[in-house]
Amino acid sequence: MHSEKKKNRFEIDMCNGSIMNKLISFSIPLMLSGILQLAFNAVDIVVVGRFSGSEALAAVGSTTALINVFTNLFIGISLGGANVLAARFYAAGREKEMSETVHTAITFAIISGVVMALVGLFFSRGALD
């Protein structure tokens, strides 16, 4: 059993104690990110609907699914690999490797975000025609 004290108040020990409170604490940020995505899409629709025509509003509605595909793809890639490695290194007490894994995942997220922005900038017109 792991009897170390928590390092900070944001750390969740998923291995010991009741699972329900930990599951809720873990899922709240995921739910909030989903709500923020919905709010982003709603604001897009409101602004475009108010200041542009019905064609622009249809374009925003049709691209929402495309944006969500790419967003969820990169979230899945980053969470899938980084979480498994970080959890293994954390459980083994290898903090240096865990830190390197987290920093590599953040670097990958930034680089892939820039690449996707450039791809979107150059190929969006062709993808939406």
Is residue 13 within 8 Å of residue 2, measured between CB atoms?
A: yes
pLDDT at residue 128, as a whole number: 65
Domain boundary assignment for the chain:
19-128
pTM listed for this prediction:
0.54
Token pair recorded at residue 127: 């993808």
What's the alpha-carbon Rg for the chain, to the nearest Å? 20
pLDDT at residue 1, as a whole number: 47
**CA 117 – CA 62 distance, rounded (Å):** 19
Q: What tens digit of pLDDT does each residue of 21-73 get? A: 878 877 888 888 889 888 888 888 888 888 887 888 887 777 777 777 877 88
Q: CA nearest 106: which of 87, 88, 79?
A: 79
* Alpha carbon distances (Å) from 39 to 43, 112, 116: 6, 24, 22
